[in-house]
Structure 1
């Protein structure tokens, strides 16, 4: 087990703090942060300890439902991961709300409880962060992290305003898009509508509506 260095046994949460890779690893094993989500980017660590309420949890469910149903109906190969760590050893680490491998060429990560090793595998094609208090960071420093991590598409959901900012990532930069590139034909407006419906409709109703909307000409 990695031992916490004496000068970084505790840190301020929900902000970026200067730290070595060894200090970051120590923090991930510190019981004080057992409920935290961890991010690391070239010498800085962020631990998020904000409580997750029903808005965050249900938006996560709806986003996963939309993506998986769309992929299934369009015969797109997909593999999803929730709250999973993706690690480039010594350089960066992220624990997004959802990550998806999409397409014909990806390898299944090993089935274990270790972070997915991006020294051996590619980054997920699509990463989704669902934020309220973290929204500013999600579209800021985390977006830069994912640009460098090598994902192809990055969505940020603002749970308070029911909006989604979707970014296509290429050449370590990103641009806003209105239609997914990794899930061809999926308009971001359809995903937003699903989130809006979820405030007054049950999940079965939304799923039936979604299947009809995807199958319609």
Structure 2
């Protein structure tokens, strides 16, 4: 059993702590922790409870616009989920900043429930994105392993402080760096970084028309 002191530690310091599935659910399904982001992997749990400020929030919206505009202008079917929990009962759970179902052959969960997406019933998203500053090392480490095992096709990590994007294609339980998206063919990762860097001197009313023009020319 996980001790109360260990659970307190994970809540205070955002670290992975050994826990049973039942112990994890006691926190994940408790409305008192509804602002936390919950992860469970290989019998360990982590809860991220750091406050989300404008750096994270704005960069989240910029990346979202890049993905949505690109898919729209290339006629690619896409469904976006923000801060949504995905759960495989008894095995694992993850709650990325952004998650996407891309293409027409996936079992996409309907938006008629506020419970975690049941991955025994629906497919996992094929693109997930984490935006991190203090969590960056974990985003590249344990979370990357979690997403490799979860059946995700592509994983992006954005280092919020430097606006760098690290993209990985996942295949056969392993992952490797890519410079162009596989699930959104033609979308270069460098362009995602350029959009993020433009936000330092331009507002959304300038960035979004640039994105549309750029994608329309491709």
Aligned partners of 2:78 and 2:217: how far apart in 1? 22
How far off is 1:200 after superposition?
1.4
Q: Name 1:163's counterpart in structure 2.
A: 164
Give how far 1:143 is off.
0.2
Deviation at 1:198, TM superposition (A): 1.1
Unmatched 5+ stretches in structure 2: none
Task: State the match for 1:129 in structure 2.
Answer: 130
Which residue of structure 2 lines up, in the alignment, with residue 214 of structure 1? 215
Asked whether the equivalents of residues 123 and 149 of structure 1 are also in contact (C-alpha less than 8 Å), the reply is yes
Instruction: Write the distance in 2 (CA, Å) between the matches of 1:79 and 1:212.
Output: 22
Query: C-alpha distance in 1, partners of 2:190/2:31?
Result: 41
What RMSD over aligned residues (CA atoms) do the two structures have, in Å?
1.5
Give the aligned length. Answer: 213
Q: Secondary structure at the match of 2:206?
A: helix
- Cα distance in 2 for partners of 1:75, 1:143 equals 29
- Ranges of 4+ aligned residues in structure 1 off by more than 2 Å: 5-11, 29-34
Pairing 1:20-169 to 2, within 5 Å after superposition: 20-110=20-110, 111-169=112-170
SS at match of 1:11: helix
Query: Given that residues 66 and 211 in structure 2 are in contact (C-alpha distance below 8 angstroms), is that contact kept between their aligned partners in structure 1?
Result: yes
Q: Distance in 1 between matches of 2:49 and 2:8?
A: 11
Counterparts of 1:107 and 1:142 in 2: how far apart (Å)? 23
Query: TM-score, length-normalised on structure 2?
Result: 0.94
Residues 1:83 and 1:59: Cα distance change in structure 2 (over 3 Å)? same
Tell me if structure 2 keeps the 8 A contact 1:11–1:17: no
Under a length normalisation based on structure 1, what TM-score does the superposition of the two structures give? 0.94
Counterpart position of 2:199 = 198
Query: What's the secondary structure of 1:109's corresponding residue?
Result: coil
Q: Residue 8 of structure 2: which of 11, 15, 34 is its match?
A: 11
Q: 1:36 to 1:207 in 2, by over 3 A?
A: same
- 2 CA distance for matches of 1:78 and 1:7? 42
* Secondary structure of 2:79's aligned partner: strand
Structure 1 or 2: more helix by fraction = 2
C-alpha distance in structure 2 between counterparts of 1:61 and 1:167, whole Å? 21
